[in-house]
Amino acid sequence: MTVSLRGFRNLLGALAIGAATVLGTAPAQAAGEAIALPDTRFSFAGFFGTYDRGSLQRGFQVYKEVCAACHAMRQLSYRNLLEIGLSEAQVRAIAASFQVVDGPNDQGEMFERPARLSDRFRRPFPNEAAARAANNGAYPPDLSVMTKARHNGAVYVHALLTGYQDPPAGFTLMDGMNYNAYFPGHQIAMPNVLNPGQVEYADRTESTVDQMARDVTTFLAWAAEPEAEQRRAMGIRIILFLIILGGLTYAVKRKVWADVKH
Amino acid sequence: MAIGLHDSTFTNPVIRWIDQRMPVFTMMQKEYGTFPTPRNFNYFWNFGALAMVTLMIMIATGIFLAMNYTPHTAYAFDSVERIMRDVNYGWLIRYVHMNGASMFFIVVYIHIWRGLYYGSYKAPRELLWILGVVIFLLMMATAFMGYVLPWGQMSFWGATVITNLFSAFPIVGEHIVTWLWGGFSVDNPTLNRFFSLHYLMPFVIAGVVFLHVAALHITGSNNPLGIDPKGPQDTLPFHPYYTVKDSVGLVVYFIVFAALVFFAPNYLGHPDNYIPANPLVTPAHIVPEWYFLPFYAILRAVPDKLGGVLLMFGSIAVLFILPWLDTSPVRSMRFRPIAKWALFAWLIAFFALMWAGGKPAEQPYVLISQIATAYYFAYFLIILPLLGRLERPLSLPESIALPVLRGGGPLPAGAVAKPMEKA
């Protein structure tokens, strides 16, 4: 394979086998059965929610150490990590730990260098064909807007990550597929990647499967809608302004129409 | 006054100088200042102004989006994401534009409903109505092409399904589809032309809106009673009475608009459109945007492809001849005891179609679509033509001002169901 894969292949990813079944390409909702998703109470849920910064940073750690082995987030740059509460020095260090291809140099050759703040997140595979080849035909989708690209968004992503189970009796899994309670059709090429203690959190939060799933989902929700906090704050101000303006406008209307019998 | 100069009534020397040479101020004063407007409008009469404001919002946000959008299959999706992340307030501009399309249709549907309920399509406003239907058609084409531009899964597959409808026509169908695509599948040439046309069409809409308003200012506005103003006691100057009343509606409208943009910007969209377009993977359910669902349901109600396409186009085409299908001389449904309920039933059929259009093409949704489609057409083609002859309308008030000034008391006997006189 190519040098760009060096050190990033999560062996678990290679377990994924499947014809061309891809997350999201399987018959979504085709099963037609309504499955209740676990209640999550995310920090960012509701009209006034904000992203829990601690959860965001832990979630980035889960993405970096687990998901990033197979899943790209090509819409994000390392500089975006400044928004989740990491210092510039921390983000520079994180970026510098990745080698990215740059060039051509004045010899006309491509070369590798440590990533900078302005670089996009390094992708695990150079292209879709390479990703499929490494995952036995399945393509791990880009996660940049994943929580916007599925029904029930973050709640679904969290459910999926915690939904790996043994298949019920009589359920025939295709070769290399995995059973997931919440995936449409229940057969998913992605294996269960979250096991208790999978990552070691710097803030000593216990890394249970549910905790890791919640944290990485929070991170993905932020990645998909980094503007959400600013949007909601602006929305509250604008709507309050409009309500006051509406009251004044209605008062003017009453005054103007006061002399008209109707 | 010098020869060749307009006789201006303005006293401000600068305004007067311009107005004498190009009487735009006189025109504005006549059409939006003193313009005699029926005194009895209800808040349904806000929606024309709201539609005009929405068109301006869409053009303004669209121009800024176009500055940052790349109409290429390889870059379109990412360029939209870049707008969302890296362009200053790009998320705001895009969410306003995206939800603005939905708000535009909400406003226009209510505007059309106002026309249907109060008989605004009847003489002498037939051409005004027809121009409105033309605007509606142009809006649908514009919205469809705009939805293709982010190049998500629903963009691509929606474009594929809708353009393929034309293949239903015998002999020329396949050629039309190839011509629309600019190739043999929905691909980069399709995206390029859709972007070009999506930028062009709003200005065409603006042109037809100008004609729509010009026609309105010849016939004057209809009103909730559906009777013509008989004199100054029945009207008010547009300004300040209706500028301020429209302003109240506009602020309320903005509150709804803002709630959508700031707190549920993707509520009316489909999650699949955040998956980049992939010609090799078909979504499980291809559904158009909500505002097309009634017509999509009519399309799917017919087992035959060509029949479905014709019926879908027919559902809009029938609106063009509505002024001649409704044979009753009474405009407002307030005075049509049977037609009123027939129209409410039509509204239920419209919502049933909207609901069924979002469901898979299977039973019982197909049957519901078929019943609702049958009633949709029956209302226009059978019920309205017959009711004009069979129905006995209630007594019309003698004038707009009269029931108002008499406090809505019993109406004079002479006002019984007399035909509308021409203004």
State mean pLDDT over B27-43.
93
Q: Which of B370, B369, B382 is nearest to B339 (CA)?
A: B382
Q: B358 is written with which tokens?
A: 């979002």
CB B190 within 8 A of CB B182: yes
Answer yes or no: is A249 within a domain.
Answer: yes
Nearest residue in B to A22, CA atom? B281
Q: What is the pLDDT of residues A21-45, one digit of tens each?
A: 333 333 334 344 567 888 888 999 9
Verify that A42 and A167 share a domain, yes or no.
Answer: yes
**A1 pLDDT higher than 60:** no
Verify that A158 and A258 share a domain, yes or no.
Answer: no
Rounded to the nearest 5°, which phi and psi values hold at B123? -50, 135
What is the domain-level CATH number for residue A134? Answer: 1.10.760.10
B400 inside 8 A of chain A by CB: no
Answer yes or no: is A108 within a domain.
Answer: no
B240 cis-preceded (ω within 30 degrees of 0): yes
Predicted TM-score of the model (pTM):
0.89
Query: Between residues B41 and A7, which one has the greater pLDDT?
Result: B41
Q: What is the pLDDT of residues A62-80, one digit of tens each?
A: 999 999 999 999 999 999 9
Cβ-Cβ contacts under 8 Å between A and B: the total is 96
What is the domain-level CATH number for residue B93? Answer: 1.20.810.10
Verify that A137 and A246 share a domain, yes or no.
Answer: no
Taking an 8 Å cut-off on Cβ atoms, the answer to whether B241 and A256 are in contact is: yes
Verify that B86 and B165 share a domain, yes or no.
Answer: yes
State mean pLDDT over A134-156.
94
Q: What pLDDT is recorded for position A262?
A: 60
Task: Report helix, strand and coil shares of chain A as percent, to nearest 5.
Answer: 40, 5, 55
H/E element holding B115? helix B90-117
- DSSP secondary-structure letter at B36? E
Q: How far apart are CA A134 and CA B182, in angstroms?
A: 37
Domain region containing A232: 227-262
Work out how many domains chain B is built from and give that number. 2
Regarding an ipTM greater than 0.90, the answer is no
Answer yes or no: is B149 within a domain.
Answer: yes
Q: Which residues contact A173 (CB under 8 A, 6 or more apart)?
A: A167, A179, A187
Verify that B46 and B57 share a domain, yes or no.
Answer: yes
Domain region containing B277: 42-288
Answer yes or no: is B97 within a domain.
Answer: yes
Answer yes or no: is B5 within a domain.
Answer: no
Distance (Å) from the alpha carbon of A204 to chain B's nearest alpha carbon? 32
Verify that B130 and B179 share a domain, yes or no.
Answer: yes
Answer yes or no: is B7 within a domain.
Answer: no
Nearest residue in B to A80, CA atom? B85
Rounded to the nearest 5°, which phi and psi values hold at B233? -70, -15
Q: How far apart are CA A121 and CA B27, in angstroms?
A: 59
Answer yes or no: is A81 within a domain.
Answer: no
Distances in whole angstroms, Cα of residue B353 to Cα of each of B157, B164, B269, B271, B315: 21, 22, 19, 22, 12
**B284 pLDDT higher than 90:** no
Q: B231 is written with which tokens?
A: 């004199």
For A185, counting Cβ atoms within 10 Å of its Cβ (0-12 exposed, 13-18 middle, 19+ buried), the class is middle
Q: What pLDDT is recorded for position B236?
A: 95
Nearest to A250 among B85, B248, B283 (CB): B248
Verify that B284 and B164 share a domain, yes or no.
Answer: yes
Distance (Å) from the alpha carbon of A261 to chain B's nearest alpha carbon? 7
Q: How far apart are CA A8 and CA A134, in angstroms?
A: 12
Answer yes or no: is B34 within a domain.
Answer: no
Answer yes or no: is B124 within a domain.
Answer: yes
